[in-house]
Amino acid sequence: MTVTTLTSRELNQDIGRAKRAAQHGPVFITDRGKPAHVLLSIEEYRRLTGEPRTLGEALAMPGAADIDLDLPKLQFQWRIPDFGQKD
């Protein structure tokens, strides 16, 4: 994980740089030399907060292909419903 520090002025001048850096670790943003804010990727934010993800988001995360997931095979048996019809 790479930690990046930018001044507020640097952030305003090159937001793209900050967004790219956030993909590799937190970006600390300073005001008058003191840390004031932290920019995180959404993946890192969700990991830290434990925010639930959709299945699609979880599968799209880096490293998801390396997870071994054995799900049981479901068995379905189709039945024709009885609606109580009388002849």
Tokens of 8: 């507020």
Residues 51 and 28: beta-carbon distance below 8 Å: no
pLDDT (tens digit per residue) in 7-28: 999 999 999 999 999 999 999 9
Q: How many domains does the chain have?
A: 1
The pTM of the whole model exceeds 0.75: no
Give domain status of residue 67, yes or no.
Answer: no
SS3 13: helix
The list of the chain residues with pLDDT below 50 reads none
CATH label of the domain that carries residue 31? 3.40.1620.10
Position 22 in a domain: yes
**Would you tell me how many other CB atoms lie within 10 Å of the CB of residue 41?**
16
Quote the CA–CA distance of 4 and 21 in Å, as a whole number.
7
Residue 74: inside a domain: no
Structural domain that includes position 12: 4-61
- Position 66 in a domain: no
Q: What integer best gives the mean pLDDT of the chain? A: 87
